[in-house]
A and B are shown apart, each in its own frame.
Chain A
Amino acid sequence: MSKKILLVDDSKMVLMMEEMILGTKQNYTLISAKDGHEAVEKAVAESPDLVLMDVVMPRMNGFQACKRLRDNQATCGIPVILVTTKGQEEDVEAGFEHGCCDYLTKPIHEHELINMVEAYLGE
């Protein structure tokens, strides 16, 4: 059965790269959002199986969006992986405090991303 993944990043380049990497897996349906606000809306409307989200974004950042998803009954069960350049220990802690399940730092290592996604989607 196809799994739906919501990709959230304000960088077209990062979205394109994630789509290329995960697009090689035929059983993934990929949807995208360009900021935290749009991500929350799409998560409610589409009920994805997994969210990959950047932190530094306009309108609503990844931490805030993550918290919103956790506070909403419809989306509180969706695992969120933060994918960000912010790799300092305090950033990672802040990510987990806001409810992310895992933390992946950029630059993305292709197979690390695939392995993490597969682990969360039970494959």
Chain B
Amino acid sequence: MPSKKPTRVDDLKGPTHKRGGKTPRAQVPQHPADTASVPAPIRQFQQLTGLQGNNRDLSVNADHAFIRASRLLVAHSQMNLASTRQEGITTVTEILVNLIGTERFACLTFHKDRRQLECLFSMGIDDDRIAALELASEEMEALLGSETRISMNGRAGCNGSEPVAVVPLRLKDEPFGLIVILAFLPQKNGLERRDYALCDLLSKHAAACISRNASTTVDVRRNDS
């Protein structure tokens, strides 16, 4: 990789303070015209986002915020775009693999009548393990209505017998099923803070995405509005 331009020492220094002197106060506009000169839409944007500074700073900060949110925006839009069940399954799989970094997982749905979990789709898990997950209904059932549950030993590279994360799925405020994550990709050390927002998004929208048909889509959107 080509070497980057070295950082100047001056760039690393924070604001300089004189020992014993007064703590410098935050800069405030010196003249009423300073605030008046900020266009109303920018002021509104500053109030909404808490971002301050001149136009260039605002633009940079907005770019950073946008970049940070990109995974959520992409996942959300792709789940909304999926128009068939198969597209929904592909989308959820891509979120789990490419955006979260999951290597082995199963998506289980809960049948109220049979009071049992059934595997809807999975990746990297053999049939015996899936059968064991389906039979672990009692334990899993307790998780159906819960918040995202992260196992205490939720690290990549564990032996895979214990889920590293379980994401409960809901459809129209009803428990729908679970995404059981058994292992992350080798380069992933475990769930990161930013992954929780994605798991939360999956919890709220994945069920509608993978059970999608015309009536489901319409019902869900009507409920949202």
Interface residues of A (CB under 8 A from B): 11-14, 16-17, 20-21, 24, 85, 87-88, 101-102, 105-108, 110-111, 114-116, 119-120, 122
Of all chain A residues, the one with the shortest Cβ separation from B62 is: A24
Give the chain A neighbours of B2 by CB distance below 8 A: 119-120, 122
The answer to whether B101 and A107 have CB atoms under 8 Å apart is yes
Determine whether the beta carbon of A17 is less than 8 Å from that of B74. yes
Residues A13 and B75 in contact, CB atoms below 8 Å apart? yes
CB–CB B74/A16 < 8 A: yes
Q: Which residue of B lies closest to A101 (CB)?
A: B1
How many residues on the B side are at the interface (Cβ–Cβ under 8 A)? 26
In angstroms, Cα B75 to Cα A71, docked, is: 37
> Is A107 a contact partner of B188 (Cβ separation < 8 A)?
yes
B→A interface (CB under 8 Å): 1-2, 4, 63, 66-68, 70-71, 73-75, 77-78, 91, 94-95, 97-101, 185-188
Partner of B70, one of A17, A87, A88, A101: A17
Nearest 9 pairs of A and B residues by beta carbon: A87-B187, A107-B101, A24-B63, A20-B70, A105-B187, A17-B74, A110-B67, A13-B94, A16-B74
* Given known A-B contacts A21-B70, A88-B186, A119-B2, A14 and B78 have beta carbons under 8 A apart: no
State whether A85 touches B185 (Cβ < 8 A): yes
| B98 contacts A11, C-beta separation under 8 Å | yes
Specify which chain A residues have a CB less than 8 angstroms from the CB of B68 in the assembled complex.
110
A11, A13, A85, A120: most-surrounded residue (chain B CB, <10 A): A13
| B74 in contact with A105 (CB, 8 Å) | no
Instruction: List residues of chain B with CB within 8 A of the CB of A20.
Output: 66-67, 70, 73-74
A87 CA to B91 CA in the complex, in Å? 22
Chain A nearest CB, measured from B118 CB (Å): 26
Q: Are B101 and A110 in touch, CB under 8 angstroms?
A: no
The winner among B63, B68, B74, B91 for most chain A CB atoms within 10 A is B74
Q: Which A residues lie within 8 Å of B70 (CB)? A: 17, 20-21, 110
Q: In the complex, what's the smallest C-beta–C-beta distance from B158 to chain A, in angstroms? A: 17
User: Could you tell me if A106 and B71 are in contact, using CB atoms closer than 8 angstroms?
Assistant: no
B76 to chain A, nearest CB (A): 11
Q: By the criterion CB–CB under 8 Å, are B78 and A13 in contact?
A: yes
- Decide yes or no: A111 and B67 within 8 Å by CB, A13-B99, A120-B2 being known contacts: yes
Chain B: minimal CB distance from A90 (Å): 11
Q: Are A106 and B67 in contact (CB under 8 A)?
A: no
A17, A115, A119, A122 pick with most chain B CB within 10 angstroms: A17
CA distance A114 to B63 in the complex (A): 12
> In whole Å, how far is B100's beta carbon from the nearest beta carbon of chain A?
6
Q: Select one of B74, B77, B78, B185 contacting A106, CB under 8 A.
A: B185
